[in-house]
Amino acid sequence: MHGFCPLASGSKGNVLFLGTHKAKILIDAGLSGKAIKEKLTKIDVLLDDIDAILISHEHHDHIVGLKTLAFRLGIPVLANSLTAKAICDTFHDCPQFKIFTTGETFEFLDLEITPFSIKHDAVDPVGFAIHTMNRKIGIATDLGIATHTVRHHIANSDILYVEANHEPALVHASSRPDTYKERVLSPTGHLSNSAAAELISAAYHPLLSHVYLAHLSSECNRPELAHSIVDTHLKEKTIELPITIAHQEIVSRATIFE
Predicted local distance difference test score (pLDDT) of residue 1? 87
d(C-alpha 128, C-alpha 133), whole Å: 16
Q: Checking DSSP bridges between strand 111-117 and strand 126-132, what pairing results, if any?
A: antiparallel
Query: What does the mean pLDDT of the chain come to?
Result: 97
Residues 220-250: tens digit of each pLDDT: 999 999 999 999 999 999 999 999 999 999 9
Q: Are 8 and 30 in contact (CB under 8 A)?
A: yes
Residues 172-212: tens digit of each pLDDT: 999 999 999 999 999 999 999 999 999 999 999 999 999 99
Q: Could you tell me the fold of the domain covering 3-250? A: Metallo-beta-lactamase; Chain A (3.60.15)
Predicted local distance difference test score (pLDDT) of residue 258? 74
Q: pTM to 2 decimals?
A: 0.96
pLDDT at 108 over 80: yes
Q: What is the mean pLDDT of residues 111-118?
A: 98
**Which residue, 75, 55, 2, 7, is CA-closest to 35?**
7
SS3 44: coil
Q: Which residues, 6+ apart, have CB-to-CB distance to 78 below 8 Å?
A: 25, 52, 53, 54, 55, 97, 98, 100, 108, 113
Strand-pair partners of 8: 15
Q: For residue 40, which amino acid is it? A: L
Q: Checking phi first, is residue 103 left (phi over 0); if not, alpha (psi -120 to 50) or beta? A: left
Q: What is the mean pLDDT of residues 7-26?
A: 98
User: Dihedral sign, CA of 258, 109, 203, 210?
Assistant: positive
**Which residue, 9, 5, 8, is CA-closest to 164?**
9
Q: For residue 255, which amino acid is it? A: T
**Which residue, 163, 161, 166, is CA-closest to 218?**
166
d(C-alpha 63, C-alpha 57), whole Å: 8
**Which residue, 47, 48, 51, 87, is CA-closest to 67?**
87
**Which residue, 27, 125, 31, is CA-closest to 78?**
27
d(C-alpha 6, C-alpha 14), whole Å: 8
Give percent of the chain with pLDDT exceeding 70: 100
Strand-pair partners of 129: 114, 138
**Which residue, 73, 83, 81, is CA-closest to 28?**
83
